[in-house]
Structure formats: C-alpha cells, structure tokens
Amino acid sequence: MITGIAKTPSALIVGSRQIEIKDVHYLWGTDLQVAGKVLRRMFPGGGHRTILRIGPAGERQSPMACITADTYRHFGRLGGGAVMGSKKLKAIMIHGDSSFQLPEGGEYVKVFDKVYKDMTDTDMMSKYHNLGTPGNVRLMNDLKALPIRNLQATADPATEGITGEKFAEAALLRNAACAGCPVGCIHIGFVRERFQDENRYIYRQISYDHELIVTVGSMIGVMDCFEVLKLIDEAEKMGLDVMSPGVALAWATEALAKGIITEKETLVPLAFGNSASYIAAIRHLAYGTNEFYQLLSQGTEKAAAHYGGGDFACVLGQEMAGYATGETFFVSQALGLRHSHLDSGGYSYDQKPQGKNVEDAVKFLVQDEKARCLLNSMVSCLFARGVYTDEVLGNCLRSVCYDILADNIDTIATEIQRLRWKMRVRSGYQPENITIPKRFTEITTWKGPLDRQFLEALKTAYGQRIMDLAGIEKGA
C-alpha cells in the first residue's frame, strides 16, 4: 500500500529484496512516450521488468487518467492515474528478480499443458487472435448497437472504414501479447508521420481495440482507421483512458453545435469527423488549457452540470463504453462497481433472445459479476473466461497446493463480491443517486426503441440487489 505524498515527483522501484524511491522531477510534465524512453534507459531489463507510468492527465489528477503498463496495457477507468498523480508518483518499476519453486510432482505441468492447448489448439480464443475485439465494430453496427456521433445514431455504412476487418487489411502491423500469454490478442497498427520536406517519415506503432475505435472513432464521427490510430496515439501520450476523452469530446461537439458552449470554450472548431480538431482538443483536455477543459477533464457530467446539455451526455457512471445494446448494458455500466463494461456482461445479455424479465436479468448480472470477481482476483484474463471454467481454475489452484481455495471456489467468489460492494457502499455509492441520461432512452436498436419502463424497473431491482450484497437493508 502506498501512503502519503512524495516531496518531489518520484519513481518507486520494487524488487524481491529492494524498495527505493527516486527523485524524477525532470519527468514531471512529460508525455508517456518521452517518460517511457527515459525510464527504460534508467531501468533496463525488458521481459522481467515492468514499468507503470502516468502522463500529464494523471499529474493534473483528472479522473480520466489511466496508468499505463509498459506500452500497450492500461489500468483504465475511474482515474487510477489521478491517484498516482496525487502522490506525485510518476512511475513504478517492478523487477521480476526472483522465481518460485514448482511443487513436486507433475501436476502443474499437466494443468499448464491443458490450458495452453485449449488456448491455442481450439477455436475458443481464435476471435481474439484473429481480428481481436475490433471484430465487434461491424457486429455492433449490424445490430444497430454502435454508439455513433454522440449516440445520435446506432448504425452507419461509413463505419466500414473502422471495422476490425478494415484495420486488419490496411493498418495491422503485428500482434503482441501480455507476458506469458500464447493468445496475443493485442493488435498493433501503425501511423506514418512526415518529419522533413524531403520525404522523410517515421512510423509509430499503436495498439487498438473495440472500445478505442468506438470512442475516438464512431462516437466523434471519425471513420478512417489511420485517423483513429492518430487519435489513440495522442490520448495515450497524454496518459488518458482513451474511452473517456472520446465520449467527452462527442458531448462537447454536440454542445457546440447547439450553442450551449462556443469556440471560446473549445478553442478549436469541434465538428464530427474533424480529427485534427480532436487531436488538439485531447491535448487541451490533458493539460487543462482553459476553464472549460479543466472542468471537462473532471468528467462530462461535471461539464454538463455547469454548462447544460446533461440530456445528451453519454455517461453511465462514467463515460460510456462501446455498446448501445440496450437496457441491461446501460443499467450494468451505470450501476456497476467500476462503471465499466468489464464489471459484468450486460451487453451480451441484451443480445440473447430471452425477453424482458427483470428478475432474470438481475440474476444474470450478479452471477456474471461473481465469476469475473474470481477471475480478476486470480489475475486471469477476462478474455480467457471460456477456458478458465471453475473446474480448470480449481485444478490450477490444486497444482500449486492451494487445495482449500480450490475446494471452496464458489464461497470465496461470493465473499469477494460481497466485500467489494461493502467497500463501494462505504465510499458513498448510492444506486438511487445514479441517473441514466435521456439520450440513452432515445435510441433504437435491432430490437426496436429502447423500453424505458424495463430500464427503470431493472435499475431499481439491480440497485436493491447490490445493496443486499453489501449487507445494507432497504431504507437504511
């Protein structure tokens, strides 16, 4: 646990027999690319060393700031970067300078082989390896469930320019993987930049995913894969959780068009599809150039409360994720523990033909969240949830002698879920205080217009169930 605030901007170095705090004041204000280059030189040893760092957005304590792990992975949503910024902690270096002895017997190897085979020899993970999550863009568009131009639309033929297929065909350079993962679902594209008149170019490698393509693509009307990569690159350099600025700028664009704000606030002519303006706006957001961007970087909801335009702020607890699938997803992100699409699979429930049953939907959300609590606690990848069944997880635990855990998986998952909600409620969470803006109720998907009654009933019932989980009685 990291307590207190450093006197000067610092880096924390952690190894199995080492803890050190280093003054890195000269890195304060640098973007993630510059900070990464310097830190990698200071602390060589790729593969067994990981570097977590924040950019200008985290230093300014914006709730949109993420923590970037090495280059292509992030702790996103709900402002982890702001927490590091508040402690003047620019970076954390973790050295993997030790190893664990495997238990005697061949159980671990057997379990490892089975998991490895399921991951690589079956088609369970092929969708992640092939197109990756961007494969969802066309799927969502076909379902009329893709957030487009601040959720003014849910389908548009122009999205063909940013589908997973389009990225693969035009911009994909290579796949990469988290440490030790044989799947390699990280898709890395490239952008070229001319740096001299005499046809001199550099190219940069940028990872892309469904959520990023939606939020700095279709949500702001940018339908060209290379323009989307440039926007992702800019947001990454600023240390922003890419999803939040995209949605915030989509709101600002509509607010500007409606005359709620002017160019005096936005500084650039925000207009759907104008990627050059959005690149400039992302920098303004990270550095808090004027009062408007300072407020917007605190969250779209805050800016809308000040200027107006709350009805079309696409906020579900925080800026929305890339699924306009309907009632269950909107309720699950709005009320979810981290207000994240990863809290539970509301978007997949919406796509099942089960009708509108409040009790059934709440049951699904609670069960699905519980399964994810367990996987997250085991630092397992949520994409591999089809491979890591409870039985496989039990075998994994047994192979390293955690027999008690293995025999009580369900009880332990229930307890983790309960404790998380208890902590969340203690920190001031009140489901009845969370509103779902009008814009979400105005959409039409492949199922037809959104059912407002079902949405409200589900929100009330799920909120009550969450309070039950946290051990809070009705009316208390």
Binding site for ligand SF4 (CB under 6 A): 128, 177-178, 181, 183-186, 381, 383-384
Q: Give yes or no for a contact between 108 and 399, defined as CB atoms under 8 angstroms apart.
A: yes
**Of residues 183 and 405, the one with the C-beta less far from ligand SF4:** 183
Nearer Cβ to ligand SF4, position 111 or 256?
111
Distance CA 252, CA 285 (A): 11
Which of 124/400 has CB closer to ligand SF4? 124
The strand pair at 67-69 and 10-15 is best described as: unpaired
Query: Is the distance from CB of 135 to CB of 127 less than 8 angstroms?
Result: yes
DSSP state of 148: B
Q: Which is nearer to ligand SF4, 128 or 312 (CB)?
A: 128
C-beta closer to ligand SF4: residue 104 or 123: 123
% helix, strand, coil for the chain, step of 5: 50, 15, 35
* Token reading at 460: 């009330």
Smaller CB distance to ligand SF4: residue 115 or 381? Answer: 381
Closest C-alpha among 327, 150, 335, 162 to residue 251: 150
Q: Which is nearer to ligand SF4, 176 or 401 (CB)?
A: 176
CA-nearest of 320, 325, 319, 326 to 296 is: 319
Residue 19 or 379: the one with the smaller Cβ distance to ligand SF4 is 379
The encoded tokens of residue 455 equal: 């949405």
Query: Residue 3 corresponds to which amino acid?
Result: T
Neighbours of 47 (CB within 10 A): 7
Give whichever of 176 and 412 is closer to ligand SF4, judged by the CB atom. 176
Residue from 461, 460, 472, 465 nearest 426 by CA? 472
Which residue is it, tokens 């709900």? 78
Distance CA 117, CA 181 (A): 12
Our measurement of the distance from residue 443's CA atom to the centroid of its chain's CA atoms, rounded to an integer in Å, reads 23
Q: What DSSP element (H or E) covers 285? A: helix 275-287
Helix (H) or strand (E) run with residue 15 in it:
strand 10-15
Shortest Cβ distance from residue 52 to ligand SF4 (Å)? 16
Cα(450)–Cα(194) distance, integer angstroms: 46
Q: Based on CB atoms, which residue is closest to ligand SF4, 4 or 180?
A: 180
* Nearest to 455, CA basis, from 442, 466, 446: 442
From the CB of 395, what's the least distance to ligand SF4, in Å? 19
Residue 66's closest CA among 286, 252, 257?
Answer: 286
Tokens of 472: 């809070």
